[in-house]
Amino acid sequence: MAIYRISHETDYHYSVPVPHSQQLLHLQPRVLPWQKIVSHWLHITPPPTREKLMDDFFGNPCSFLEFTQPHLRLSVSSETHIEVKPRQWPDFSQSPSWERVVQHCRYAGHAIDEELLAALVFRQESPFVRIKHVFADYAADCFTPERPLLEAAHALMLKIHEEFTFDAEATQVATPLLQVLEEKRGVCQDFAHLMIACLRALGLPARYVSGYLLTEPPEGQERLIGADASHAWVSLYAPRHEAGAVQDAGASWVDFDPTNAVLPGEGHITIAWGRDFSDVSPLRGVILGGGQHVLDVRVTVMPAD
């Protein structure tokens, strides 16, 4: 088990006062079988007029803030201590073929298991992930006939990692995925969105996972791309293959990090998941006034003594 201290600081500086704003924060990690929150706190300047802790539609913990006093600066500091254990992934070669999973995810006029019904939300288009044939075509050489689902997804992860270049200057939040695919440059958010688009275009449920990476890796290990900032990766719905049939009972979600070509382990801390980045942005909101603004974000993930 690894224990980390996570510091996430966000500062907005406005050119003119903001008389009223509302913000939604996704900064508290989820409680999951492989991770446990030891402590978590927020320090907010100016103090919000109203604050509400809640879970969003996807079960992610989040904070709603409202400010009704004029302010020129908004500062949000999050400090988290968390325990993370290694994860056990299923045998990829024993997963059902990807075609059988696609067929299983299609409505055929019968009752649908609750696990599958919840997963199908992640099979549809979302604001940053459009379903287009070009994405299925890009993944076609990985998803060959009758190939086990998880082996094919692993191959797609490696393909994206090998063919795309990490370039923090190449894209913005709203850069279309077709442009990312054409230029083959971007950041972790783009690579996660691209892999999700490929999987959904084939008919498979896949969700966007936001989180953090260990800032300084243990001695002898390479520093992963995406440290010192919020990171993003992909989670694929993986039903079991038993007695020749696809089974939802006991199905798992298997994570893939196409930016680093690794399966997320104890160095990946999960914050939230959703359809795409728009569902789980660390801090987003609406403001009145403010004029121009300058944003400064600082993230550090270090082992806790």
Same domain, 124 and 242: yes
DSSP 59: S
Same domain, 72 and 211: no
Same domain, 74 and 99: no
**Residue 270, domain member (yes or no):** no
> DSSP letters of 205-243?
-EEEEEEEE-SSPPTTSPPPTTTTS-EEEEEEEEEEEET
Q: Are 139 and 201 in contact (CB under 8 A)?
A: yes
Token representation of residue 273? 């998941």
The tally of CA atoms less than 13 A away on the side-chain side of residue 84 is: 28
Same domain, 52 and 194: no
Tally of structural domains, the chain = 2
**Residue 272, domain member (yes or no):** no
Cα separation values, 158 from 177, 189, 214, 231, Å: 18, 16, 21, 18
Same domain, 53 and 196: no
**Residue 271, domain member (yes or no):** no
Give the pTM: 0.93
Using DSSP bridges, classify how beta strands 165-166 and 185-186 pair: parallel, antiparallel or unpaired: parallel
Q: How far is CA 244 from the centre of its chain?
A: 32
| pLDDT at residue 227, rounded to an integer | 60
Same domain, 147 and 99: yes
Per-residue pLDDT of the chain (305 residues), as tens digits, is 889 999 999 999 999 999 999 999 999 999 999 999 999 999 999 999 999 999 999 999 999 999 999 999 999 999 999 999 999 898 999 999 999 999 999 877 667 888 899 999 999 999 999 999 999 999 999 999 999 999 999 999 999 999 999 998 999 888 999 999 999 999 999 999 999 999 999 999 999 999 999 866 666 666 666 566 789 999 999 998 776 777 777 789 999 999 999 999 888 999 999 999 999 999 999 999 989 999 999 998 988 86
Same domain, 214 and 289: no
**Residue 269, domain member (yes or no):** no
**Residue 6, domain member (yes or no):** yes
Same domain, 111 and 237: yes
Same domain, 64 and 139: no
Q: What is the CATH number of the domain that holds 293?
A: 2.60.40.2250
Q: Which residues constitute the domain of residue 17? A: 2-85+281-303
Same domain, 186 and 45: no
Q: What is the CATH number of the domain that holds 139?
A: 3.10.620.30
